[in-house]
Chain A
Amino acid sequence: AQTVTQSQPEMSVQEAETVTLSCTYDTSENNYYLFWYKQPPSRQMILVIRQEAYKQQNATENRFSVNFQKAAKSFSLKISDSQLGDTAMYFCAFMKLWGAQKLVFGQGTRLTINP
């Protein structure tokens, strides 16, 4: 079975700083997908960024980018020029290539951006 681990329960940075959230996972699959989701205080889950394991190039979405290290089974999220609206819980998630498209979530990192 797959597991996802987020080792940082909480993080706090100043506005405009860059912050990196860590995620490691365990799987015997060779092809899969990885995701970062954001859950602001409204508790709506928002898909932030997606990575396909068979692509070596790291995904980027505006201020959000990932560092995907397949051999190390590591998938960190970097937020550049952080904004107050980035304050949220961030969840790392794993999805197998085949099947019912189920997600395996980490326990989350609570990120606070301070003014």
Chain B
Amino acid sequence: SQTIHQWPATLVQPVGSPLSLECTVEGTSNPNLYWYRQAAGRGLQLLFYSVGIGQISSEVPQNLSASRPQDRQFILSSKKLLLSDSGFYLCAWSQTGTSGTGQYFGPGTRLTVL
């Protein structure tokens, strides 16, 4: 069966510091990968998605970047965090093709920028 991991679970960082959030998927190959941000009590905002190694699409211009160095690894980064980067970050994966099985989410990372 497939599993998706995210770490860290919680992170408190000062303004201006760098960020690296990691997501890995097990039990599948060549998945589509996604990064979302969720503000408290709000919906999900798609930040980045990837359909293959080195292929990154950005949905919203911002202070963040994403990379996919390996097939099942997706990293969200920032060189200098802003207060507005605080939120709950979710990674998700889906199968490629048209099966429409939906996306499966990791447990999330709660980021607080002070």
Residues of the B chain whose Cβ atoms lie less than 8 Å from the Cβ of A105: 43-44
Residues of the B chain whose Cβ atoms lie less than 8 Å from the Cβ of A108: 42-43
A96 to chain B, nearest CB (A): 9
A23 to chain B, nearest CB (A): 12
Within 8 Å by CB of B43, from A43, A91, A98, lies A91
- When the two chains form their complex, are residues B51 and A98 in contact, meaning their CB atoms are under 8 A apart? no
- When the two chains form their complex, are residues B100 and A52 in contact, meaning their CB atoms are under 8 A apart? yes
- When the two chains form their complex, are residues B43 and A107 in contact, meaning their CB atoms are under 8 A apart? yes
Q: Is the interface of B mostly helix, strand, loop or mixed?
A: strand
Within 8 Å by CB of B108, from A33, A43, A107, lies A43
Within 8 Å by CB of B100, from A46, A50, A100, A106, lies A50
Query: Size of chain B's interface in residues, with CB distance under 8 A?
Result: 27
- When the two chains form their complex, are residues B103 and A103 in contact, meaning their CB atoms are under 8 A apart? yes
Complex CA–CA separation, A43 to B90 (angstroms): 9
A97 close to chain B: CB less than 8 A: yes
- When the two chains form their complex, are residues B103 and A100 in contact, meaning their CB atoms are under 8 A apart? no
- When the two chains form their complex, are residues A50 and B44 in contact, meaning their CB atoms are under 8 A apart? no
Within 8 Å by CB of A100, from B38, B49, B102, B107, lies B49
Interface string of A82-114 (1 = CB under 8 A from B): 000000010101010110111101111010000
Complex CA–CA separation, A101 to B92 (angstroms): 11
Residues of the B chain whose Cβ atoms lie less than 8 Å from the Cβ of A97: 98, 100
* Given A35-B102, A101-B100, A102-B49: A91 touches B32 (CB 8 Å cut-off): no
Interface string of A50-86 (1 = CB under 8 A from B): 1010000000000000000000000000000000000
Give residues in A with beta carbon < 8 Å to B. 32-33, 35, 42-47, 50, 52, 89, 91, 93, 95, 97-98, 100-103, 105-108, 110
Give residues in B with beta carbon < 8 Å to A. 32, 34, 38, 41-44, 46, 49, 51, 57, 88, 90, 92, 94-96, 98, 100-105, 107-108, 110
Given contacts A44-B105, A102-B49, A106-B43, 9 further A-B contacts (CB under 8 A): A43-B38, A47-B102, A47-B104, A95-B100, A98-B98, A100-B32, A100-B51, A101-B96, A102-B46
